[in-house]
Structure 1
Amino acid sequence: MKLYHHPLSGHSHRVRLFLSLLGIPHELVLVDLAKGAHKAPDFLKLNPFGQVPVLDDAGAIVTDSVAILVYLAKKLRRGDWLPEEPLAAAKVQKWLSVAAGEIAYGPAAARLITVFGAGFRADEVLARAHNVLRQINAELSGHPFIVAAVPTVADVALYSYIASAPEGNVDLSGYPHVRDWLARIEALPGFVEFQKTPVGLAA
């Protein structure tokens, strides 16, 4: 498998992390966002939206980080990471939606301000970040991972931008269950770290 990625992209890290947790050999292909490589014609043939990550599985092209997580779990028949039972599957899907929604427009957006100079309003994205973190912290008070006692693709989808939230000036000190959850994910065999950037509270 070949993964087109950028090391500072949390969306890319989600997929790289899952590939590593599953022990899947893969080739990393750097897409230089600063030089506009994601808008180059060859890359747009892979993903017309001009976004990383992109997974090339022997010619089968999958785009969107959450879609790639689902693809990998389904292809490898990893029901432990993506359950088939209806209620458990619905719970995973809910948190995948949170990763694509509240996380993207909260802690991820806050980090985009400090790392990439994005033009979001800091007060708005910080408020959204803390709102979703309060909900996740409450959810994690009942079980070690976001859906149950074992990790799922939902945990992988949520991890990267929560772990890097301090880079966007999002203080995690008030969320003990979130911090314990981060540590549990980081202790999983095959864990691979998200590249740190010394900005925000992480400076």
Structure 2
Amino acid sequence: MTPIKLYRTPKSGHCHRVELMLALLDLPYETIDLDMANAAHKAPDYLQISPFGQVPAIDDSGYILADSNAILVYLVQTYAKDTGWIPRDAKTAAEVQSWLTVAADQIYSGPCAARLVTLFGAPLDHQAAIAKSHTLFQYMETHLNNRSWLASERITIADIAGYSYIAHAPEGGVDLAPYPNLRAWLNRIEAEPKFVGMLASPIAELA
């Protein structure tokens, strides 16, 4: 199989969720790191790959796709021998979709935004992002009280979509200590065979 090209920036949680899915599915891939600081993602050749100039994007033997959650769906439906990654029954499939929406909304405006401020100096309201993170984490802590995974009785793409920015929330100044169920969920994902982590930024560098 020809390796799938993954266009990314290493510290992006959006990119990491795709790389994690590739790894868990044991798919061959090569990473192509874009120099975002010098606007490589806005270069005309990359805009042919990702029209909105966003990462990640993949090139799978000529099939090009941007948007991290869409890529998760594509990878699983194309290559997963285990169909449980996207459950077939309507109610559980809807639960998965709802968590993909959370990843694009509450996770993006919460832990992702907080981390964008501390790591990249994004002009966002840091305290509002931290508050949104804790509102989300309080809900997830309760949700995970009597279950192991977000949407099903097993791991699904909902868990993969949610993992990266939540695991790295402390880099944005969001404390995970008050959420034992949430931390146990992160640990379960990290215990999956072929798990790969995202490049971390030492907390000391963020002071």
Q: Judge same fold: TM > 0.5, yes or no.
A: yes
C-alpha deviations, 1:178-198, integer Å up to 9, x for none? 000111100100100111012
Equivalent pair of 2:118/2:206 in contact (CA under 8 Å): no
1:27-106 aligned within 5 A = 27-77=30-80, 78-106=82-110
Q: Distance in 2 between matches of 1:148 and 1:75?
A: 21
Q: Tell me what 1:20 maps to.
A: 23
Q: Tell me what 1:141 maps to.
A: 145
Kindly state the Cα deviation for residue 200 of structure 1 after the two structures are TM-superposed.
Answer: 7.3
Which of 148, 156, 165 in structure 2 is aligned with 1:161? 165
Query: Once superposed, what is the RMSD of the aligned Cα atoms?
Result: 1.4
Which of 181, 195, 198 in structure 2 is aligned with 1:194? 198
Inter-CA distance 67–42: structure 2 relative to 1 (3 Å threshold): same
Aligned to 1:106, the other structure's residue is in SS state helix
Aligned to 1:50, the other structure's residue is in SS state coil
Greater Cα shift, 113-122 or 72-81: 72-81
Kindly state the Cα deviation for residue 12 of structure 1 after the two structures are TM-superposed.
Answer: 0.3
Equivalent pair of 2:8/2:15 in contact (CA under 8 Å): yes
Structure 2: where are the runs of 5+ without partners? none
Equivalent pair of 1:114/1:199 in contact (CA under 8 Å): no
Structure 1: where are the runs of 5+ without partners? none
Q: Distance in 2 between matches of 1:127 and 1:165?
A: 12
TM-score relative to the length of structure 1:
0.96
TM-score relative to the length of structure 2:
0.95
Inter-CA distance 133–200: structure 2 relative to 1 (3 Å threshold): farther
Aligned to 1:124, the other structure's residue is in SS state helix
Equivalent pair of 1:167/1:201 in contact (CA under 8 Å): no
Q: Tell me what 2:135 maps to.
A: 131
Greater Cα shift, 98-107 or 67-76: 67-76
Query: Aligned pair 1:173/2:141, yes or no?
Result: no
Q: Distance in 1 between matches of 2:120 and 2:205?
A: 15
- Identity in percent: 48
Kindly state the Cα deviation for residue 148 of structure 1 after the two structures are TM-superposed.
Answer: 2.4
Kindly state the Cα deviation for residue 149 of structure 1 after the two structures are TM-superposed.
Answer: 2.6
Q: Distance in 2 between matches of 1:80 and 1:148?
A: 9
Q: Distance in 2 between matches of 1:58 and 1:166?
A: 37
Aligned positions, number: 203
Aligned to 1:80, the other structure's residue is in SS state helix
Equivalent pair of 1:168/1:201 in contact (CA under 8 Å): no
